[in-house]
Chain A
Amino acid sequence: MLAKLASLFLVLAFGVVSQVSAMPSQTVSFDDPVTEKRYQSLIKELRCPKCQNQNLADSNSQIAVDLRNEVYAMLKQGKADMEITQYMVERYGEFVLYRPKISGLTYVLWFGPAVILLIGVIIVVVVARKKSATKKELALSDEQQQRLSKILEEKE
């Protein structure tokens, strides 16, 4: 029993270790927790230009490492978040931003989903109205209802 527990413990421990080593290995240290938070959020918001569906935080490619170092260095120099993202955009284009700015190019990206939702709602409303209209047409008029009752009574 004890041996089993021990082996289970080992497996768990190694599982954790291997997970940790799968993370990009890089240590950064900050003097204050606020800057560290800013660093973490910046590298999550910036896209890796090489491995295009990863952000800088997730990627281990050489360029992602370089850019993380750059973000780190700029934070250490006391640069503002805006300055850092601007610096990246100047070099790698709007593409590096996971949340692109609203501009002529990105209107579709920002408002497309809302427009499509609106179109969907309009279609649903139109179809639903039409259905209820045809239901009314199908319903028996008062006169027909009376005739129906009469026929049913006669049958009984």
Chain B
Amino acid sequence: MGKIIRFLPLIVFIALGVVLYRGLFLKPQELPSALVGKPVPEFTLTGLKDGDRTLTSVGQKGDIKLLNVWATWCPSCRYEHPYLLDLAKSDQFKLYGLNYKDERDLAIKWLEDLADPYQYSIFDPNGRLGLDLGVYAAPETFVIDHNGIIRKRFAGPIDGKVWQKEFAPLIKTISQERARGE
């Protein structure tokens, strides 16, 4: 007993050290979404390029979809844009945009200048759908499976490294589920 007490400060110190050291590498910005496992919230919005078109869903059932939240006021969106153009070439999933709290003219010009990676973009000037999705900044990217269920939410820009780590395994899993007919 006496010996243990003598070493207690050292034990506490090591335990605290381990906890604090791990704390250095935590990323509290990466919140788990409250919507993972739930369907995409209902909405009625217009298309960005096609203002007359009413949209109530993202893409079609049966497709694996990425929904990328973007805006022209968001510098990180510009950073990830070239990578999105790459992703748009994939045949495993379809990429859709949610233009978040932006101006239509500016957003259309952005897509004309930088090229448009999206099947289409949903125009959400007031951030209504953004709010229902729990979006708190741009860019954010949601993975929606073939049944229309949100499987992942990622806050921050996507690049090759992020894609390999965060998205590629999940896309593979969902593809397998779809092949099995789940």
Chain A contact residues, CB within 8 Å of chain B: 49-50, 52, 62-63, 66-67, 70, 89-95, 123, 127
Report yes or no: A50 in contact with B33, Cβ–Cβ below 8 A. Answer: no
Q: How far is the CA of A52 from the CA of B155 in the complex (A)?
A: 14
Given contacts A62-B101, A66-B127, A127-B5, contact A93 B29 (CB under 8 A): no
Given contacts A62-B101, A66-B131, A70-B131, contact A91 B35 (CB under 8 A): yes
A to B contact number (C-beta, < 8 Å): 35
Beyond A62-B101, A92-B134, A123-B8, 13 extra complex contacts between A and B, CB < 8 Å: A63-B136, A66-B127, A70-B131, A90-B34, A91-B35, A91-B131, A91-B132, A91-B133, A91-B134, A92-B31, A92-B136, A93-B31, A93-B33
Report yes or no: A50 in contact with B136, Cβ–Cβ below 8 A. Answer: yes
Q: How far is the CA of A31 from the CA of B63 in the complex (A)?
A: 49
B157 to nearest A CB, angstroms?
A: 16
- Among A66, A91, A95, A127, chain B packs the most CB atoms within 10 A around the CB of A91
8 A-B pairs with the lowest CB-CB distances in the bound complex, closest first: A93-B34, A49-B136, A91-B134, A63-B136, A50-B136, A92-B134, A50-B137, A95-B31
Interface size class of B (residues with CB under 8 A): 10 to 19
Provide the residues of chain B in CB contact with A127, threshold 8 Å: 5
Report yes or no: A52 in contact with B28, Cβ–Cβ below 8 A. Answer: yes
Provide the residues of chain A in CB contact with B134, threshold 8 Å: 49, 91-93
Q: How far is the CA of A62 from the CA of B5 in the complex (A)?
A: 52
Q: How far is the CA of A66 from the CA of B130 in the complex (A)?
A: 11
B62 to nearest A CB, angstroms?
A: 27
Which residues of B in the span 111-160 have a Cβ within 8 Å of any Cβ on A? 127, 131-134, 136-137
Provide the residues of chain B in CB contact with A49, threshold 8 Å: 31, 134, 136
Report yes or no: B132 in contact with A93, Cβ–Cβ below 8 A. Answer: no
Is B82 in the interface zone, CB < 8 Å from A?
no
Q: How far is the CA of A10 from the CA of B25 in the complex (A)?
A: 49
When C-beta atoms are compared, the residue in chain B nearest to A93 turns out to be: B34
A48 to nearest B CB, angstroms?
A: 8
